[in-house]
Amino acid sequence: MKIAVFGTRKVRLCSVSAMYDKDSLKAANRDGFVQFTFIEALLDQRTAILAADHEGICIFVNDICNADVIEQLSALGVRFIALRCAGFNNVDLEAAAKLDILVARVPAYSPEAVAEFTVGMMMTVVRKYHKAYNRVREGNFLLDGLLGFNLHGKTVGIIGTGKIGLLTGRILAKGFNSNVIAFDPYPSPLAEEYGLKYVSDIDELFNKSDVISLHCPLMDSTKYIINDDSIAKMKKGVVLINTSRGGLIDTYALIRALKTGHILAVGLDVYERESSYFFADSSAKVIADDTFARLLSFYNVFMTGHQAFLTEEALTNIADTTLKNLRDMRETGTCACLVKAS
């Protein structure tokens, strides 16, 4: 079974530069059932031709798999699309269904990885670890500008209570004794056990939270869930964390709120137009996206490059599930992680 893997990236592990996608997928392919072709380029209309002579493709969050691309893939004989991530907003599922292309994802590779990273980012933003680290390296031991606040006793709002949202809430509720409230149109029966309390509507969460953390998928109903109107309902001095999807936040509205001081600080592992910059070294380039450049210029914005998932355990789980999805789709015409148009 020949599979074209788009967007394979290098990462420095233990002082060795390695392609983590390639290494983890090869390790999971124990019986050689899949013959991989690893491609550094992202999937889009220009690169889809690279999938020629392959039964399927394997893609990540920033690959473009819209209707035009899917038509090209179908014409090339591609029958399977395996997402090595949980989100699937970058795939036109209706177009895939019309052309009998099966789509599968990895719904829960390591929710602990993202949850732990989220809380770490929250602590960094609140206690300013990153600023202290840079100061001390330069011999500056002043504490000016490093004042933070306790998470103990604070109200933290979790939007989206899938596995990651629940685990993030549990860490905060059980570990920090925070008052964790949550909103999700589909409440989880585990929420109470994990220490989360649901509110009646999302406006109540906006009104009450000292810190808000986003953990919902990107869909039409959640796009720009953080906007001018929702920000206006938040407490002045709220802290906002997003380790989910960039499109959940209207960046222009976020910038306006940062300029007025309504939002105290922000931690972001994602950005709505991240595909032009993330997973690549742009340190010697000019950032042409003026909105992104402005966001990075704020002293109270802490950003990382979509790394919340990046642990050894997560990569192993992603690769194992991806291989199982491909095998099942090929041999049975379906799989447990199949994604269909609603």
Q: Quick: pLDDT tens for 280-298.
A: 788 888 899 999 999 999 9
Is a pLDDT exceeding 60 seen at residue 275?
A: yes
Neighbours of 104 (CB within 10 A): 26
42 with 64: CB under 8 angstroms? Answer: yes
Nearest to 268 by CA among 292, 237, 236: 292
Res. 107: pLDDT tops 60: yes
Return the pLDDT at 230: 98
Name the DSSP class of 151: S
pLDDT reported for residue 3:
96
Residues 227-242 pLDDT 10s:
999 999 999 999 999 9
The reported pLDDT for the residue numbered 135 is 95
CA distance 206 to 209: 6
pLDDT score recorded for residue 156: 98
CA dist 342 to 234, 264, 337, Å? 32, 38, 15
> Tokens in use for 106?
């990895």
- Maximum mean pLDDT: which of 108-112, 234-238, 270-274: 234-238
Q: What is the pLDDT of residue 279?
A: 78
DSSP codes of every residue in 75-138: HTT--EEEESSS--TTB-HHHHHHTT-EEE--S-S-HHHHHHHHHHHHHHHHHTHHHHHHHHHT
How much is the pLDDT for 334?
95
**Percent of the chain beyond pLDDT 90?**
84
Classify burial at 65, counting beta carbons within 10 Å of its beta carbon; exposed 0-12, middle 13-18, buried 19 or more: buried
Statement: residue 11 has pLDDT above 60: no
Q: Chain-centre distance of CA 236, in angstroms? A: 26
- pLDDT tens for residues 26-45? 999 999 999 999 998 999 99
pTM for the predicted model, two decimal places: 0.88
Catalytic residues: 245, 274, 306
Q: Which of 19-33, 94-108, 190-204, 207-221 has the lowest mean pLDDT?
A: 19-33
Q: Which of 12-21, 139-148, 151-160, 248-257 has the lowest mean pLDDT?
A: 12-21
Band of pLDDT at residue 167, cut at 50, 70 and 90: very high
pLDDT in tens, 178-189: 999 999 999 999
| Mean pLDDT, range 288-309, rounded to an integer | 94
What span, in angstroms and rounded, lies between the C-alpha atoms of 24 and 29?
A: 9
What's the average model confidence in pLDDT over 83-112? Answer: 92
Burial class from Cβ neighbours inside 10 Å (0-12, 13-18, 19+) for residue 252 reads middle
Comparing 22-26, 79-83, 166-170, 189-193, the range with the smallest average pLDDT is: 22-26
State residue 19's pLDDT score: 60
Q: Which residues contact 185 (CB under 8 A, 6 or more apart)?
A: none
Question: Is the pLDDT higher at 24 or at 235?
Answer: 235
pLDDT interval class at 330 (50, 70, 90): very high
More confidently predicted of 108 and 210: 210
Residue 22: is its pLDDT beyond 90?
no
HSE of 207, CA atoms in CB hemisphere, 13 A: 6
Q: Name which residue leads in pLDDT, 121 or 286.
A: 121
Q: How far apart are CA 160 and CA 182, in angstroms?
A: 7
